[in-house]
Structure 1
């Protein structure tokens, strides 16, 4: 006889689930859906899951609000979306003293040459040396390597470490604005809402340092036409910087503040 697996009660799961169900029930009462509308919603939600788009939908419509609730009243750099295009195992970018690290890229990588500088401190203003800095972004066709792209798996991806002053600099190309996928249920939902699918150009950066909270954030550029209407609502004022034109290349910089573990 097969022994039944015993699952221990989790009070936090129970608390959140009950709150979720309560709000869904209130939503259904307030929206006054008829049975056809309710059935269509259930079928749409089923397609969302079967197409594997639940993480995408959650990124676009929920994650920003989770982050706001967690960090809006805390010191330090505001986090932003991890996004669906992160890949584990990016290569280490070797540093040469006095020179920027070069993000992994093809020899003939198309795009505007871009130098990005940053500095990392804690909330007390102490520079954080040897902080791991993971960077990834899209290419000049607005695609991410490893996802719907013919580029090598870790193209325009890599990690490096800050120097003794908490500084780092990377040479790459300027990222582009892009549309989230629109062929599936998420795009269908945006059409119903008469909402565009664009995200402003951005760098993804993740900082990891012992005894500090991992900081997952993004860097945006002043003047981008999609800043105010980012479909994922991921833009924060303190995550914007100026993209400076130096003729044959662009430059930008931004400082970051990490919170210590509580």
Structure 2
């Protein structure tokens, strides 16, 4: 498996991520209680003030931070920055009151409205799609172990070079994305390829921060999933691969032991893995 040597531009990714965020119904919600706004923003500002005092931040450093914030906004990179560096903490808080399969971050590369596919399904791909073939199977059940017929698995992933359709101009729309529907027994079977790790775009302000802090910009290879069924809480999760590069140093800090797959070689160049999802009542 190869890894990405260069990524699509940060400007292109930022623009696509912002457009996708605005279009997605996942992010709509009721208005926020003003008291909560006051409490959260006050603590956020207090934390920033503490950093300024504790680190004796200078005026040149303060001006550099303002310029960086302006560039993040102008480049449309807020979805990228927040999803990579902040979302994992929000997800950890949400997980305190959740049962069922472990979740993790959504990330910046979700696109709604993908092709609906009955199981067994092959994710849309190019005729010459490169990569190790993967057969991903399992069941979707409720917390009492009952199968959930016609549950939906919204699946998306990077290709063998670490690129996502919709964010890399050379990929066709919908490549390696699909909405897979389970059968009457809650079972699914998805044919795809093993994805590669991907690099957070480094030519924009997010990348400048990563470089300035001497961090690496990589995420381990993973499958993204939104698993849903009527009357049940939707699970947002990612599944990783045992032994994968960057698994122990994910720049987004989103990996969890329960989410690591161990595909078996089938002897014909194909790998296969089984993984079940458990959904709690909504």
Normalization by structure 1: what TM-score?
A: 0.90
Cα offset, 1:124, TM superposition:
2.6
Query: Is 2:37 aligned against 1:13?
Result: yes
Q: Give the length in aligned residue pairs.
A: 251
Q: In the alignment, which residue of structure 2 is the partner of 1:52?
A: 76
Shifted more, 171-180 versus 66-75: the winner is 66-75
Matching residue within 251, 258, 280 for 1:238:
258
Query: Is 2:184 aligned against 1:164?
Result: yes
Aligned ranges 1:63-142 → 2 under 5 Å: 63-72=87-96, 74-95=98-119, 100-142=120-162
Distance across 2 between alignment mates of 1:103 and 1:148: 18
Q: In the alignment, which residue of structure 1 is the partner of 2:17?
A: none
Q: In the alignment, which residue of structure 2 is the partner of 1:37?
A: 61
Matching residue within 218, 222, 229 for 2:249:
229
Normalization by structure 2: what TM-score?
A: 0.84
Query: Is 2:273 aligned against 1:249?
Result: no
Q: In the alignment, which residue of structure 2 is the partner of 1:4?
A: none
Distance across 2 between alignment mates of 1:42 and 1:91: 42
Provide Cα deviations, 1:40-74, integer angstroms capped at 9, x if missing partner. 11111111111111111111111001111220463
| SS, match of residue 116 in structure 2 | coil
Provide Cα deviations, 1:128-172, integer angstroms capped at 9, x if missing partner. 221111111111222111112322100111112112322111001
Cα offset, 1:9, TM superposition:
7.4
Q: In the alignment, which residue of structure 2 is the partner of 1:211?
A: 231
| SS, match of residue 281 in structure 2 | coil
Structure 1 residues 107 and 73: alpha-carbon distance in aligned structure 2, compared to 1, 3 A threshold: same
Unaligned runs of 5+ residues in structure 1 are: 1-6
Shifted more, 239-248 versus 223-232: the winner is 239-248
| SS, match of residue 11 in structure 1 | helix
Q: In the alignment, which residue of structure 1 is the partner of 2:7?
A: none
Query: Is 2:46 aligned against 1:25?
Result: no
Q: Considering only aligned residues, what root-mean-square deviation do their CA atoms show, in Å?
A: 1.8
Larger Rg: 1
Cα offset, 1:206, TM superposition:
0.6
Distance across 1 between alignment mates of 2:234 and 2:33: 29
Provide Cα deviations, 1:29-48, integer angstroms capped at 9, x if missing partner. 22220111111111111111
